[in-house]
Amino acid sequence: MKTSTFVLASIAVAAGVFGGLQLDHALKNKGQGNSAVAFRESSTTGTPVAFSTDAAGAVQAAPFDFRAAAKRATASVVSVDQYRNLPLNRGMFGDEDGRTVEREVGQGSGVVLSEDGIIVTNNHVVQDGSRFVVHMSDGRTLDAKVLGADPRSDLAVLKVQAKNLTPIEMAPITSVEVGQWVLAVGNPLGFSNTVSVGVVSSLKRDLPVGEVGLTNAIQTDAAINPGNSGGALCDAQGRLIGINSAIASGNGGSVGLGFSIPVDRVKTVVQDIVKYGYAKYAGLGIVRWPDETIANPSARQQLAEEAGKDNVPQKGIIVRQATGAASQAGIKPLDIITSVDGTAVTNFFDLNKSLLTKKPGDKVSVSFWSKGETKTADVTLQDLQPERRL
């Protein structure tokens, strides 16, 4: 049986091969001004489904026509090209002569959220580029600026200088159910304005993608391929329910297992980036050792020697540095965090998820091992700013 792997649905054009790009450092470009995005939302159900009645009188949904939904969605979905200066020549021994040339290094998709040019895409679509070009659905080509990017959500916000764009309508996340029809709209393999149709296969999937993972993702069998990253997952009325981000695949292409960041998460992160230049998170204020450290016999032996105890937990987050909230609660370097609010924390992903919906000022109960003793402390979470801490 072939094992599936999770990859981010992007394409490295310069290399011409599929690639699972890692979720790396956040771009810290600050947004201009403190204006918020006025998302285009609707409480209407759009075009109704036609119904028929069978011989027994039971009501059955008739086949759905997706033309109207596709027309609405494609008007708000763009393709995003990223460019970077690369060495022009290499000598016989691989040395460079210092000259560079700008080359296209990747393609993805994006979704227009405001009439004045706010566009959301994936963090991994923009993380390797230095210049970005957006191709609008009406044929225009515009340079785009990165207002901010957030690796924890795999979202980024672009801004183009344009007016009277068509922002996509957003559906409430509470309307999304398993089994409903959905459309994936984007730029797969460079084929712009591509629409594929499927259903919501599952909800609230947690995926081990990149460094921090994706949480509460929408799973769909609508075809998502490299280049779809940052594009729209829409309901049958053409309203946005998620941003396409990753696929599970054994061959790098679509096998009917695609994953999207839910629209409520998108709204929160975009609003933060537009207002502050970064996505706001509440956290403990710690820097951690890598997840695999605690399973390393040598590292565990060192911890045991440091503590003078041999009851080192086998799972948890080893604190490398504690500042702010964590330090004030008595958490110190080489302590091991084992649970938050009673939920076990075995790795970075668990800790990230446990704090994801928290706000600065919220209190959480943290259990941790410290020099042989198990302790519990109430921690008042701090605003992390754009730092790579929890």
- Residue 118 confidence (pLDDT): 98
Tokens 């999207």 locate to 260
| pLDDT confidence tier of residue 229, bands split at 50, 70 and 90 | very high
| Percent of the chain at pLDDT exceeding 70 | 81
Among 279, 305, 334, the domain-final residue is 279
Tell whether 74 and 183 lie within a shared domain: yes
Give a yes or no: residue 233 inside a domain: yes
User: Looking at the structure, do residues 325 and 310 belong to the same domain, yes or no?
Assistant: yes
Say which range, 80-94, 222-236, 343-357, has the weakest mean pLDDT.
80-94
The reply to whether 25 belongs to the active site is: no
Burial profile 23-45: b = 16 or more Cβ within 10 angstroms, e = fewer: beebbebebeeeeebebbeeeee
Strands 382-383 and 343-344: unpaired
Q: Are residues 300 and 273 in the same domain?
A: no
Residue 56 within a domain: no
- Asked if residue 14 has pLDDT above 80, the reply is no
Cα dist from 5 to 45, 77, 106, 177, whole Å: 36, 27, 21, 25
Q: What is the pLDDT of residues 266-280, one digit of tens each?
A: 999 999 999 999 999
19 pLDDT tier (thresholds 50, 70, 90)? very low
Cβ count near 48 (within 10 Å): 7
Residue 257 has pLDDT above 70, yes or no: yes
Among 54-63, 67-76, 237-246, the least confident range: 54-63
Domain boundary among 279, 302, 318: 279
CATH code, domain carrying 355: 2.30.42.10
273: nearest Cα among 146, 117, 382, 134: 146
29 pLDDT tier (thresholds 50, 70, 90): very low
Give me the number of domains the chain comprises: 2
pLDDT at position 27: 25
Candidate list 150, 154, 235, 291, residue with the active-site label:
154
Point out the least confidently predicted range of 20-34, 113-127, 338-352, 359-373: 20-34
Q: How far apart, in whole angstroms, are the C-alpha atoms of residue 213 and residue 207?
A: 6
* pLDDT at residue 51 greater than cutoff 70: no
Please, what is the average pLDDT of the chain? 84
> Which residues pair with residue 135 across a beta bridge?
79, 141
Pair (268, 357) in one structural domain: no
Same domain, 102 and 179: yes
pLDDT of residue 213: 80
C-alpha dihedral sign at 70, 213, 146, 382? positive
60, part of any domain: no
Q: Which residues, in sequence order, are bridge partners of residue 121?
A: 156
Rounded to whole angstroms, the Cα distance separating 152 from 146 reads 17
pLDDT value of residue 46: 45
Please say whether the dihedral angle defined by the alpha carbons of residues 335, 340, 344 and 349, taken in this order, is positive or negative: negative
Q: Are 151 and 287 members of one domain?
A: no
pLDDT surpassing 60 at residue 43 = no
Q: Is 49 part of a structural domain of the chain?
A: no
pLDDT at position 246 is: 92
What average pLDDT does the segment 199-222 reach?
89
pLDDT for the residue numbered 128: 85
Q: Last residue of some domain: 279, 301, 332?
A: 279
Same structural domain, 250 and 306: no
CATH number of the domain at 105, please: 2.40.10.120
CA distance 124 to 229: 8
Q: How far apart are CA 367 and CA 290, in angstroms?
A: 19
Q: Regarding predicted confidence, which is higher, 256 or 15?
A: 256
Question: Which residue matches tokens 């050792």?
Answer: 289
- Sign, CA dihedral 275-279-284-287, equals negative
Could you tell me the pLDDT band of residue 387, with boundaries at 50, 70 and 90? low
The active-site residue out of 124, 196, 235, 339 is 124
Q: Is residue 47 in a domain?
A: no
Catalytic residue among 229, 249, 260, 339: 229
pLDDT digits (tens, 9 = 90+) for 314-356: 999 999 999 889 999 999 999 999 999 999 999 888 998 899 8
Least confident of 56-60, 68-72, 255-259, 261-265: 56-60
Residue pLDDT, tens place only, 154-194? 999 999 999 999 999 999 999 999 999 999 999 999 899 99
337 and 377 in a common domain: yes
Q: Is 80:133 a contact under the CB 8 Å cutoff?
A: yes
pLDDT tier at 90, thresholds 50, 70, 90: low
Q: Quick check: is 97 in a domain?
A: yes
Confidence of residue 99 (pLDDT cuts 50, 70, 90): confident
Average pLDDT over residues 213-217: 90
For residues 192 and 216, state if they share a domain.
yes
Alpha carbon 301 to chain centroid distance? 37
Cross-strand partners of 343: 340
pLDDT beyond 80 at 45: no
* 243 assigned to some structural domain: yes
Is 154 a catalytic site residue? yes
Please report whether residue 61 resides in a domain.
Answer: no
Verify that 165 and 265 share a domain, yes or no: yes
Q: Is the pLDDT of residue 362 over 80?
A: yes
Q: Is there a contact between 266 and 21 (Cβ–Cβ < 8 Å)?
A: no
pLDDT at residue number 50:
46
Do 216 and 204 share a structural domain?
yes
Residue 310: domain span: 282-383
- pLDDT higher for 274 or 12? 274
> At residue 122, does pLDDT exceed 80?
yes
Same domain, 287 and 171: no
- Closest listed residue to residue 234, CA positions, set 25, 68, 98: 68
35 catalytic? Reply is no
